[in-house]
Chains A and B, each alone.
Chain A
Amino acid sequence: MSSASLSLSRDDRPILIAALFILVILVAGTVYTFARFGSAPLLSPTYLLQQLQIGAFLGIVAAGMMMVILIAQIDLSVPWTLAAAAMMATSIGGPLAIPVGLGVGLLVGLVNGIGIAYLRVPSMIFTLGVNAVMRGLMVAHTGGYAPQTGATDLMRMLAGDRTLGIPNAVFVWIAMSVLVTIILQRTTLGRYVYAIGNKEAAAYLAGVDTRRITVICFVLCGLAAALAGVLLAGYSTKAYQGMGDAYLLPSIAAVVIGGTNILGGRGRYLGTLIGVVLIVLLNSVLSIMDMPEAGRQVIYGLVIIFMLLVYGRGERVTS
């Protein structure tokens, strides 16, 4: 038995523990609802599918965030990239809505990437500035109010409707997941991403154009945030101010809970997927329990610390 757990690789252990923790959340929530209401809504397929639909937006953002965390950077411009993509998509409307929304994400990612890869500004501060600029542009564009324009039918269909009983947003999330998994595991780009995260200088000396790869990662992250924005606008039928604010820290938390090293170079996409499900379920169980916002924040923080204490500890500095 112990040999089985020992043979788990360093990257798989967090994923297994996080998955077990999801079961713990489900069981604890079900015990609670059974004791209080005499029913077990948490285990019904309808409820779980609805949670997946809500989780899809966070999942897509987290997939992009993982690409930049793997190269030891971070993207703080996600909130207003997401909002800007949603606002531009709804205000353009028509068949061009989605391409324009994604174009916003691509452009933001390109600016981020150039500033960080070529000007070597720390990503923490550069993406912060880009976030402020995007916020400024959108406030100037909308006048500070929620834009009156609505989402197009295609956006609503992609985010809100269901096919064969499964929300379409989940299919988009699955497609995104397959794409990221293939990039990370089956392409040279993926190899380079891990190499840069481990030691950029070594990757450079090995002949990798590390700056180009960095730009690509930020573009992917911007595209993912924009896609989530377009979908979220479709789900809530319109764009609104601050719609991306609730996605920045949870997406980072999901990536890290999934076992990806915040210093880059290590981590599997499956972990990020599990991390997203964990956060979404935790949130929904806490809301079923009528937990006030104060308690939610405390539990949320304690869970992150607890998970990292179990498997995310760094090594002692000895030389």
Chain B
Amino acid sequence: MLDDVAIRIRQNVGIVTAVLLFSILYLLYNLAHPKGFSSAVLVQNGDEIFALAMLAMAQTVPVLASGLDLSVGAVMTMVGCFASYLLAGAAGGAPLHLDIFGLHVGLGTFPGGLSGILLGIVICLATGALAGFVNGCVVVYGRIQPIIATLATGAVYIGIALFLRPTPGGKIDEDLNWALTNSLGDFASTVHIFDDGAASWFAPVAWIPVPFVLLILIALLVWVPFRRSVLGRTVYAVGSAEGAAYMSGLPIERAKIAAFTLAGFFAGCGGLFLAIQTSSGNADIPQAGAYTLNSIASVVIGGTSLLGGTGSAIGSIFGAMVLRVISFFFRIFDIAPLLQPLFEGLILLGAVSIGALGVLRVKNTLELFR
């Protein structure tokens, strides 16, 4: 029994390290914070973590299949721009129109109210998944290397985002913003369930931030079933030995397309939340780039090998949280804002270098060149 646990830990040493690192850092953070261990702090952190955690999950799936998706930040931005049109939630609905090449095309009225918001959310998530599906098709049927294919499609998605929102703007329903970026209690009182969140059985969980609940739900309802499916296992197989996976008759093409589609879906979730949180759509190119690069860093910190085949999206969530907690520390310890980028870089370099010290123990040099 104990041996079993030891083996499991050894197999998942990357994830375990990330979880431990996050736990220690977050404990220290809360101890140092004047309002530590309170729901308010937790809610604020949850809002700041969610988008990056989703992008980290998005990045993980193609990386597991030894691809890389440089378009996750672009998909996030594009979906956010769509959301800023579709989630306005005005009672009478919002008129949509398209200005293209000097033509003004009316697209009718998008429904308002709750049904409109739900429809908008579904359209936004479907847009993200569609973008990912296109990535997958370009990679599989175009047979173009993922890193360069997604670099190109990312430019296209950013272009669409810029077309939708040349300047930041748009509007998101206030209730939606309030319900999703606060604690479960606020969510219940906004959507009027459980006696507006006052039910006595509800009180013990009312402090939990909604973003964390969403994160856990998405992980449990999307990632875990995918990982256990044939397609999910094929993604791992493709990452460790594509030729062997092919010879075993696994559906490698479908698995790759599924991996990129899922990445697009996760990135879409991140973009949707970011738009809801900021109540606007913004085609911010540097922000998209920063999110893409941070998603790669999160994946690595979360114990997934960039060579593919080993790791998990759950680990990447913790990787993203580690990255974010480090920046929380700057606020607590009052480090000069000018020095923050330097510390971020040094910590990232230090973490990957310490993780790499294992190479000094390798006896057969040939093993290095995998």
Pairwise interchain contact A200-B369, C-beta atoms closer than 8 A: yes
Q: Does B149 contact A (CB under 8 A)?
A: yes
CA distance A210 to B365 in the complex (A): 11
Pairwise interchain contact B145-A140, C-beta atoms closer than 8 A: no
Within 8 Å by CB of B144, from A118, A204, A297, A305, lies A305
Q: With contacts A139-B342, A294-B160 known, is A312 near B144, CB below 8 A?
A: yes
Closest chain-A Cβ to B312's Cβ sits at a distance in Å of 18
Within 8 Å by CB of B145, from A133, A242, A263, lies A263
CA distance A118 to B353 in the complex (A): 10
Binary interface profile of A, 112-133, with partner B (CB < 8 Å = 1, else 0)?
Answer: 0001001111101110111111
Q: List which B148-193 residues lie within 8 A (CB) of chain A.
A: 148-149, 151-156, 158-163, 166
CA distance A291 to B111 in the complex (A): 33
Pairwise interchain contact B155-A301, C-beta atoms closer than 8 A: yes
Pairwise interchain contact A136-B151, C-beta atoms closer than 8 A: no
Pairwise interchain contact A314-B338, C-beta atoms closer than 8 A: no
Pairwise interchain contact A304-B151, C-beta atoms closer than 8 A: yes
Q: Does B247 contact A (CB under 8 A)?
A: yes
A side interface size, CB within 8 A: 61
Q: Give the number of residue pairs across the A-B interface with Cβ within 8 Å.
A: 169
Q: With contacts A119-B357, A125-B306, A204-B369 known, is A305 near B145, CB below 8 A?
A: no
Binary interface profile of A, 281-317, with partner B (CB < 8 Å = 1, else 0)?
Answer: 0000000000011111111111011001100111111
Pairwise interchain contact A130-B349, C-beta atoms closer than 8 A: yes
Pairwise interchain contact A121-B344, C-beta atoms closer than 8 A: no
CA distance A292 to B283 in the complex (A): 14
Q: Does B246 contact A (CB under 8 A)?
A: yes
Q: List which B241-279 residues lie within 8 A (CB) of chain A.
A: 242-243, 246-247, 252
Pairwise interchain contact A119-B145, C-beta atoms closer than 8 A: no
Pairwise interchain contact A317-B152, C-beta atoms closer than 8 A: no
Closest 7 CB pairs of A and B: A136-B342, A132-B345, A297-B159, A301-B155, A298-B159, A133-B345, A294-B162
Interface residues of B (CB under 8 A from A): 68, 138, 142-145, 147-149, 151-156, 158-163, 166, 242-243, 246-247, 252, 283, 286, 293, 296-297, 300, 306-307, 338-346, 348-349, 352-353, 355-357, 359, 365-366, 368-369
Q: List 28 A-B contacts (CB under 8 A).
A: A121-B352, A121-B356, A125-B352, A128-B293, A130-B345, A132-B345, A132-B349, A133-B342, A133-B345, A135-B341, A136-B343, A200-B369, A201-B369, A204-B366, A249-B151, A253-B152, A262-B148, A263-B145, A292-B162, A292-B163, A295-B159, A295-B163, A300-B152, A301-B154, A308-B142, A309-B144, A317-B243, A319-B246
